[in-house]
Amino acid sequence: MKTSKYLLASAALCLLVTSMPALADTSGKKIALSNNYAGNSWRQAMLTSWEKVTGEAVKAGQVAAADAFTTAENQATEQAAQIQNMILQGYDAIVLNAASPTALNGAVKEACDAGIIVVSFDGIVTEPCAWRIAVDFKEMGRSQVEYLSGKLPQGGNLLEIRGLAGVFVDDEISAGIHEGVKQFPQFKIVGSVHGDWAQDVAQKAVAGILPSLPELVGVVTQGGDGYGAAQAIAAANRPMPVIVMGNREDELKWWKEQKDANGYETMSVSIAPGVSTLAFWVAQQILDGKEVKKDLVVPFLRIDQDNLEANLANTQAGGVANVEYSLEDAQKVIASAK
């Protein structure tokens, strides 16, 4: 009788084990980062975060490799070729910051068909086989106008500084800004330039358009452009409007200087560059057999007047206010999406 009980218990245990999803050992897995652009401080911080977090994961034996690759030009054709090379090189997962939401779908599908996990972030792709980690970029744009409506209830003229032309993120933030203007019609966008998410490009573009613009009450931005805009406006001896910043150290430093000098008020918002590390851990978890929803959403990082100093103190010179993600953070994001 006792033997039959042991047999029944053993059978039940075997049934339980076989019914559980099998977890793969990822210590031998190779993950690659495919990045389309590195020409500004946000992208540099994103790559630095990737190297820091994935380097520790490789040392700990959690994955075998986590190599980062950036294309020389922001061209979808070049990035598609890069992805095809990664397929040939035998990577188990590709973490992707894409030049286009659609133009890379063919290469992404080739990777999926080869059994490779593809996790896109920031610049996401629409190919159904890929995972996507996105910030609500439209809301990031809309929230800027909402902030200005509280600070400047009478409204006025706005200059819009856009990002890199043709990139999903640029289109989404701009669409959100325009939705905000529809919601708060006391504002009017009187000019728009592309700053490419880079201070020097933004400064030159703003300097070029300023002579044709009426007085501005605000500048709505995408990140990496606020300080450049401020420099151009100051050089033109025009009244300083409320410039929404993008979490870059030079922007936060300038804001702090103006706040101390004359009480200047604004806000700052951007996606944390460390989202690349979240994408890495999501890829590792999928390789480990975890069930992960195809679409994950992370909040954007906003800085306000009352926490400016604390955020500036934690942002390295030439860098971007940042959040890096651990394996446990990724597991929480995955669980919250279920």
Per-residue pLDDT of the chain (338 residues; tens, 9 = 90+): 444 443 334 444 344 333 333 346 899 999 999 999 898 889 999 999 999 999 999 999 999 999 999 999 889 999 999 999 999 999 999 999 999 999 999 999 999 999 999 999 999 999 999 999 988 999 999 999 999 999 999 999 999 999 999 888 899 999 999 999 999 999 999 999 999 999 999 999 999 999 999 999 999 999 999 999 999 999 999 999 999 999 999 999 999 999 999 999 999 999 999 999 999 999 999 999 999 999 999 988 999 999 999 999 999 899 999 999 999 999 999 999 97
Residues 223 and 130 reside in one and the same domain: no
pTM for the model: 0.82
Task: Give the C-alpha distances (Å, rounded to integers) separating 285 from 16, 29, 89, 328.
Answer: 22, 11, 21, 11
Query: What's the pLDDT at 168?
Result: 85
Read off the tokens for 157. Answer: 């003229």
Identify the domain boundary among 228, 250, 270.
270
pLDDT at site 140: 96
pLDDT of residue 24: 60
Q: State whether 260 and 156 are in the same domain.
A: yes
Q: Are residues 243 and 178 in the same domain?
A: yes
Name the domain boundary from 225, 253, 270. Answer: 270
- Domains of the chain: total: 2
Helix (H) or strand (E) holding 252: helix 249-262
Q: How many CB atoms lie within 10 A of CB 142?
A: 23
Q: What token pair was written down for 15? A: 């049934």
145 and 224 together in one domain:
yes
163 and 63 co-located in one domain: no
Give the domain range for residue 206.
137-270
Tokens 């540099």 sit at which residue? 44
Structure tokens at 290: 């975890």
The CATH number that applies at residue 186 is: 3.40.50.2300
The Cα–Cα gap between 302 and 271 comes to 9
Q: Are residues 123 and 149 in the same domain?
A: no
Q: Are residues 181 and 117 in the same domain?
A: no
For residues 50 and 90, membership in a common domain is answered with: yes
Give the per-residue pLDDT at 22: 39
| Distance (Å, whole) CA 213 – CA 163 | 20
Find the length of the chain.
338
